[in-house]
């Protein structure tokens, strides 16, 4: 279930001013892979907020020695968020000329959060995450998409509780779910790999009075 945009916008943000951490330098056991849309920017590393980095390190400590976390997404510049959103908005508009603006906006939100609503990734509190075991990706039913594409053949396997995956794949997702929830992350149900802490989505799902992470304005 995607939380309505107006509900998210009602959540107050009290920025805690936590800094960004280069996750690969923070813990070299954690693997990283840069998404295609980030390769076109000057940002060649994956940054997350300090508390997120600490939680990831704790999770890595709990894994068997032959397992590693793999992070493919952390903080995303708001400019990139806007470019991705605008691209899908225009695609939806052309594909459905009879839809009004609100309908197009809601459909676009199923793929990417609008840039004017403090989306998760630009806060530095959201991550795209999976496991590697013996240097191979653990079978989660589908890989984390490295490009955002509505024509991805595995799109029906994206939802965390998809019925289109095997029992073993569901077990592997359950392993991820249990660890992430244990360390206070929340999941975006339409994407099994997307987890966040400290943002508006986290605050709403955790019944917090406010979010602690707002949009990062400058990434160095």
- What are the chain's domains? 5-76+117-211 (3.30.1380.10)
List, in order, residues 6 or more apart from 205 with CB less than 8 Å away.
Answer: 3, 186
The model's pLDDT over 138-163, given as tens digits with 9 standing for 90+, comes to: 999 999 987 666 677 888 999 999 99
- The stretch 193-219 carries a mean pLDDT of 94
From CA 151, how far away is CA 35, in angstroms rounded? Answer: 17
The model's pLDDT over 80-96, given as tens digits with 9 standing for 90+, comes to: 778 878 877 888 788 88
pTM of the model: 0.89
Helix, strand or coil, per DSSP, at residue 24: helix
From CA 213, how far away is CA 180, in angstroms rounded? Answer: 18
Q: What is the pLDDT at residue 148? A: 67
Burial environment of residue 196 by CB neighbours within 10 A (0 to 12, 13 to 18, 19 or more): buried
Q: How many helices (H) and strands (E) does the chain have?
A: 8, 10
Q: DSSP string spanning 141-173?
A: SSPPPSS--TT-TTGGG-STT-SSS-HHHHHHH
- The stretch 37-56 carries a mean pLDDT of 84
Q: What is the pLDDT at residue 46? A: 92
CA 71 to chain centre: 10
End-to-end CA distance of the chain: 34
Helix, strand or coil, per DSSP, at residue 72: strand
């Amino acid at each position: 279930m995607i939380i309505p945009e107006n509900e998210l916008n009602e959540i107050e943000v009290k920025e805690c001013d936590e800094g960004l951490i280069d996750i690969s330098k923070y813990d070299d056991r954690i693997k990283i892979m840069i998404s295609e849309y980030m390769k076109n920017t000057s940002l060649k590393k994956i940054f997350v907020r300090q508390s997120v980095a600490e939680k990831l390190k704790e999770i890595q400590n709990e894994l068997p020695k032959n397992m590693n976390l793999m992070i493919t997404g952390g903080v995303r510049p708001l400019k990139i968020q806007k470019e991705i959103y605008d691209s899908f908005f225009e695609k939806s508009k052309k594909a459905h000329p009879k839809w009004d603006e609100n309908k197009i906006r809601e459909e676009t939100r199923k793929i990417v959060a609008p840039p004017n609503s403090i989306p998760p990734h630009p806060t530095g509190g959201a991550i795209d995450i999976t496991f590697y075991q013996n240097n191979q990706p653990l079978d989660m039913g589908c890989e984390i998409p490295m490009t955002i594409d509505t024509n991805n053949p595995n799109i029906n396997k994206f939802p965390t509780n998809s019925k289109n995956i095997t029992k073993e794949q569901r077990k592997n997702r359950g392993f991820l779910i249990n660890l992430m929830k244990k360390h206070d992350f929340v999941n975006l149900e339409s994407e099994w790999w997307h987890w966040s802490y400290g943002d508006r989505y986290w605050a709403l799902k955790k019944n917090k009075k406010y979010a602690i992470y707002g949009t990062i304005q400058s990434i160095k």
